[in-house]
Each structure stands twice: as structure tokens, then as C-alpha cells.
Structure 1
Amino acid sequence: MAGRLRRLGGVAFRQQKWKSSLSTQAKMPPCDFVPEKYESYPYERMQKIREQNIAPSLKTYYKRPLLLHQGHMQWLFDHEGRRYLDLLAGIVTVSVGHCHPKVTMATQKQLARLWHTTNIYMHPAIHEYAEKLTSLFPDPLKVVYLTNSGSEANDLAMFMARLHTRNFDIICLRGGYHGGSPYALGLTSLTSYKHGVANGFGCTTGVNGAVQYPRNFLKEAYQLIRERGGLCISDEVQTGFGRTGSHFWGFQTHGVVPDIVTLAKGIGNGFPMAGVVTTKEIASSLAQNLHFNTFGGNPLACVAGAAVLEAIEEDDLQKNSEDVGTYMLLELAKLRDKFEIVGDVRGKGLMIGVEMVTDKDSRRPLPAEEISQIWEDCKDMGVLIGRGGLYSQTFRIKPPMCITKRDVDFAVEVFRTALQRHVNKAAAK
């Protein structure tokens, strides 16, 4: 231990001091990983750069934004060496764990071999990955077009559907979010993402807080669309790659096969990659004229994607999502039964939403400032969670799929403590 303290300098001491302040509330599970000493700019200089040189639309979480330095599986470390349990996974992007050794080693090896070549040439990685990825889909979804982001994938899916059907209008769900590009924003009805200019013409309306479809909803919706000559697109950007636990893809839980599937986020465990999977017939519609992507399917991305698929299988992460996710849902349900302000606990696998209300009878959203304080308290106790819902009233819990039941016990206890603090403050007023 003395050697470890010497390597970390003052960082280890600060972390130990910080952890001791939590001992009366919740005991953070042990972690053998030792972060490197932070040696970049001071926090204050980072803040100044943020104010002067980074677009103000790129907002940060928390009153005092975190300055993150390093990650290891389900854990994040800030510039002072403080450790946090990441229950948001880089907005549902880190699937197999921060800096997963298999993905890290694969990308490091490819970095030394070939970073980039466009699709005008062949290279092994894209062909190997395309075969692995499409093998996980039912027939006839066997053709993939690789892109760089979920927004781009959803844009392309809409474009493909319009080309193939020669129809124009698109129907999506209120409260859903499918990307930040001007085209994809047309699929979004959340006012916080709207900027008062026209976008996404022909779209009629996620981030809504892990809301599950009613039984048979998708089957009936798909039937109605197809009877009218339409195509059905499944956005698996967050629900894919085993996160729901029972199945590898979210659409499989409803017994349907879409015409087009979009993928991103967990596909690369944080590497910027995405894709559209569809039938050969629909994909051929795009081949009528030139459509080109410079970076999509580059060697580095494909190697990262293949390593992610291997890690999911080798670490049995789909099963872990089911087991740990079910355990977490049941533990959070106990808090719903105890606290009047917890209106609902819902989800599947490691996609969970906790809806906050003023009371269970009215189900009015808990005021934003009260939700923010609970959120801040959780962060101060070492747990990072997200926000969502039409009124930002739902806590989003979507951690890396390597999370353990011991981590869940810690997270639930932290959340319980934060809720109890809120109740105590309200009673004292």
C-alpha cells in the first residue's frame, strides 16, 4: 500500500479522505485499479478554456462539472483521483466497460498496422466485421452500411426508406430522440432539442426515460405501416448489443423483424462508429446513384467493433445485463414502495428509468430543482446517473454491462440516502 501511495502522490490521499466521508452512508465496492496521476491543466484553467473556446451549446452536468481523467470498466476517476460508479456509461455508449482490455489491445494493434483507408479499397477488418455483425441478425437483415454516429445512421435510414418506397412521411413516437442532426431532429418533439427553425420535413411525432411498449404494440404498428406500403425502422442505438438482457436486439423482445435497423453507441464501446443494417433489396436503392462515406467502416472502427462483439460473448454480458438488471429493478422497486416521490421504476435489463413525482396520486413531475439536488447528492456520494423524460423528471440508469450486484447494492444505498435527505429537508420546511 505504501508503494501505491508513493506512485499516486497526493491523489491517493485525497481519494481515501473523500471515501471516508461516505462511510456513514454507503460503502463503495473495492477496485484494484490504480489511476495515473493527473498532470494536465488545473481545474480552473479548464473552466476558462471551456468558457472561451468551446461552444456554449455543449453543456456540462452538475453545478461543479466533473473533470474526468481515467476510466476502468464500470468506474471513472476525476482529476483528484475520486472514483465514481458510472451508471450512465457515457450516455449509454460504454457497453463492455471503460478501456476494456480486449478492445484496448485490439485497437492498439490496429493503430500500428493501418488507421484509415476509404471504401474504394478493400481491407480485412470491414469484411470480417460485416460478417460477424450481420450473423447476429435474422434474415433478411444481412447488409450493413457503416457510419460514424447514430444521428448519421438515422439520417441514412430515413433516406433509404424514402428512396425505396418513394413515400415521404415518417411517423415516430412523442418523447423519442434519434439524433442531433437537422434531419434527425425532425423525429424529435422534445422542446429542449428544438431551436425554432424548420427541420426534418415530413416527420410526424429514447430519452423519454426507458418507457416500454405495451404488449403487441409493435406487431400491430408494423402491420398497419406495411399495409400502407411503408417500412419499419428500429432504432437500436441504445437498446442493442444485449443491453436488454433477454435478447441481443430490442426488437426481438416484441417478436417483430424490422426492415431497417440503426446502430451506434455501444457498437464501439465509445469509439465513434455506427451502422445501418437492412435487406439487400432496400440497400440496393441507395446504389442507384453515388453515396459515399469517408470514415465509415475504417479499419480502426471495424477492429474495435469486432472486439466489442467478442467481449460481449466472452464476458457473458448479455446474461449479466439480464441478471444484474433484474436485481437492480427489484431493489429500486423497494425504494418506490418506501418513498412517495418515486412514482415509477421501469425498464428491462440494464435500461432502467426511475420517474420522480410530487406524489403518487397526482403523478406531477417533481420540480426540476428538487430532482437536481437528488442528482447532485448522488454524484457527491460517488454515483453518476442521467436525466430524461418530457420534463426531465426521470433518472436514467444505463451502466456499462459489466456492472455487478455488489455495485448495485452501493448505488441503491446511495440513491436511498439522497432520497431520504430530500424527504428530511422537505419535512423541515
Structure 2
Amino acid sequence: MAELCRERGVLVIHDEVLTGLWRTGTPLASDHWDGAEPDLCILSKGLGAGYTGAGAVLVSPEIAPLIRHQDADPLPPMGTMATHPLQAAMCLGVLDELEAIGASTLHSRGERLGRRLRTLTDQPTVRAIRGLGFLYGVELAPGLLWPLMTEAESRGVFFYPFTGAGEPRSEGLVIAPPLTSTDTDIDFMVTALVDAVTALAESH
């Protein structure tokens, strides 16, 4: 897709609001594929770590000079919700924390999460496990999403549900623990999920 865009002079723009900043095990999800680097990349969500709303646009070195060109319209210095010092401090704090955790630790914990989640594919109630790093989807057999949510919550864990299109309609859980999760945190979360899935299978 990136090659087709560049052949035609079209900017490659990635929405990494959910997948950016190590959520999939690399700084950007596009880093998993050679040649997929965007011209513009939108970040949010994890950039403010839930403490404050924040968003950013990364601009490639090739595009940045065009924005700063003397004949171009100047960028507005600020707006109602832009360039707030609290937002800037929070974003810098998040980046500092990610750097302190380190790439190898983030990678190994993401791998640990994936290995443990994939054991669920042995359960008849689980249709598929998909994901990378700290972002996975657990697709369930139809009609089991809300009973599983109840089972998981009774074990002290809340997961984000998803429902999609298609026939039969897809449904399941988004597994996206904080990047600051320890191995113990990950084990607790996955154990609760495995126990919930097992209990659901036994009751159906």
C-alpha cells in the first residue's frame, strides 16, 4: 500500500492512536514491516497514559521542511486545547518512563503475554487469538462475550469487549494491559482469564 501511494505522490498517513508507543512491541506498529514507514503518523491514547488527553502528529524528515517552508501558511502557535504545559509535561513523562522500562523488557513481557494467551486456543469457546506485544484480541464463539465478562470480573479483572460485523458476528475481548505491567501482573491477568474461560466452557 505504501509503495502504491508513493508511486502516485500520495502521502502515507498512519493512525497509531491505539497501536503506537510500544503497544505492539515496537515504537510504532509500522516498524514491524520494512518499507511501511509513514509520512505522517498520528499518536494519542498512550501518549497521555490516561492522565490527560493528548495527541501528536509525527512528521517524516522529508515532509517537515515543506511545513516550515517560507512560502507556506504558518502553523498556528496554539489553540484552545493545544500546547498546554500540563499535556507537554505528561507526554514527556510517558516517553521517559518507556525509555526507563527499556525495549528488551517491553519485548519480553509482550512475548510472555502472547505465549500465555495462546494456550486459550485449546478451549472450544475461543475461536482465535490475534495480536502483538501488549495488544491482543481473543475472539469467542458467538453469545459468550458477556458471560465471560462476568466470569472475569468475578476474578478481579475487567476486559474491554468488542463486537464486529460478519456472520456469524464476531465478538471477544481486547487484551491491552498497561505497559508498566510486571510479569506478576501479566500472570494474574491471564490466569484470571484462563480460569474464566474454563468455567464458561464447563457451564456450556
Q: Same fold (TM over 0.5)?
A: yes
Are 1:226 and 2:6 matched, yes or no? yes
Are 1:376 and 2:156 matched, yes or no? no
Deviations 1:169-220 (A, max 9, x none): xxxxxxxxxxxxxxxxxxxxxxxxxxxxxxxxxxxxxxxxxxxxxxxxxxxx
Closer, same or farther: CA 249–290 of 1 in aligned 2, 3 Å: closer
TM-score norm. by structure 1 comes to: 0.42
In the alignment, which of 255, 259, 273 is matched to residue 39 of structure 2?
A: 259
What is the Cα deviation at residue 407 of structure 1? 2.0
Are 1:388 and 2:162 matched, yes or no? yes
Distance 1:228 1:389 in 2: 36
2:132 maps to a residue whose letter is: K
Deviations 1:346-381 (A, max 9, x none): 211101111112xxxxxxxx12xx210101210121
Contact 2:140/2:170 (8 A) holds in 1? no
**What is the SS of the residue equivalent to 1:383?**
coil
Matches within 5 A, 1:163-178: none
Contact 1:273/1:301 (8 A) holds in 2? yes
In the alignment, which of 160, 176, 180 is matched to residue 402 of structure 1?
A: 180
> Is the radius of gyration larger for structure 1 or structure 2?
1
Distance 1:345 1:298 in 2: 40
Query: What is the aligned-residue identity percentage?
Result: 28
Matches within 5 A, 1:13-52: none
Are 1:238 and 2:10 matched, yes or no? no
Contact 1:355/1:393 (8 A) holds in 2? yes
1:411 matched residue in structure 2: 189
Equivalent residues, number: 193
Deviations 1:37-64 (A, max 9, x none): xxxxxxxxxxxxxxxxxxxxxxxxxxxx
Q: Which runs of 5+ in 1 are unaligned?
A: 1-220, 358-365
In the alignment, which of 282, 291, 297 is matched to residue 83 of structure 2?
A: 297
Distance 2:55 2:72 in 1: 20
Task: Tell me: higher relative CO, structure 1 or 2? Use CA pairs within 8 A at least 6 residues apart.
Answer: 1
Distance 2:67 2:42 in 1: 13
**What is the SS of the residue equivalent to 1:355?**
strand
**What is the SS of the residue equivalent to 1:344?**
strand
| RMSD of equivalent CA atoms | 2.1
TM-score norm. by structure 2 comes to: 0.85
What is the Cα deviation at residue 389 of structure 1? 4.7
Deviations 1:146-172 (A, max 9, x none): xxxxxxxxxxxxxxxxxxxxxxxxxxx
What is the Cα deviation at residue 252 of structure 1? 1.3
